[in-house]
Amino acid sequence: MTRILTIIALFVSTFSFVNVAQGKPTNSGSPEEFIQFYFDAFNDEDKKRLEMVFLKPFSSVSGDKVTVYKSWREYINYEVVKKTGWSYSSLDNSKVVFGNDTTAAVSVDFARWRDDQSKILSTRVLFVVTKQNGDWRIASVVIPSDVPINQ
């Protein structure tokens, strides 16, 4: 019995590794896992995974401005983010505040950090995610206007 469980665990972990290596989200069950997947892709500046994260189009609400983007490339400008000294972001807490099998609103506390481990900022954002073809996608982001992302 132990041998069978070991073989099943090995198979599942190999399958998950292959999906991540191919850039496919392996988190079709949990919105929180999907948000972690997004943060990992953002930190890695992984264009292939970022392409899979956002719906096309998707929206951002920042202050009193609502913007619709055709692509993540319009939304995320790494040059702007790096001008702040950014090295990586940490997902400090995430909680589904509304959800069902296909849609969720996820409240996220995160921080941006410099190479020397000093904190640039800490804030809360809201992601509205929806499941498309079995995988979560970001439909909208509500983010404070003082968090540099694209201008």
> How high does pLDDT run on average in the chain?
85
Assessment of whether the complete model's pTM goes beyond 0.95: no
Residue 80 domain-assigned (yes or no): yes
pLDDT category at 55 given cuts 50, 70, 90 is very high
Which H or E run includes 80?
helix 78-82
Residue 135 domain-assigned (yes or no): yes
Give the pLDDT confidence score for residue 30 in this predicted structure: 87
- Residue 23 clears pLDDT 60, i.e. is over it: no
The residue ranges of DSSP E strands in the chain, in sequence order, are 54-62, 65-69, 88-99, 103-113, 119-132, 135-142
Domain hosting 97: range is 27-142
The mean pLDDT value for 1-17 works out to 36
Give the pLDDT confidence score for residue 79 in this predicted structure: 96
Q: How many domains does the chain have?
A: 1
Q: CATH number, domain at 67?
A: 3.10.450.50
Residue 136 half-sphere exposure, CB side, CA atoms within 13 Å?
A: 26
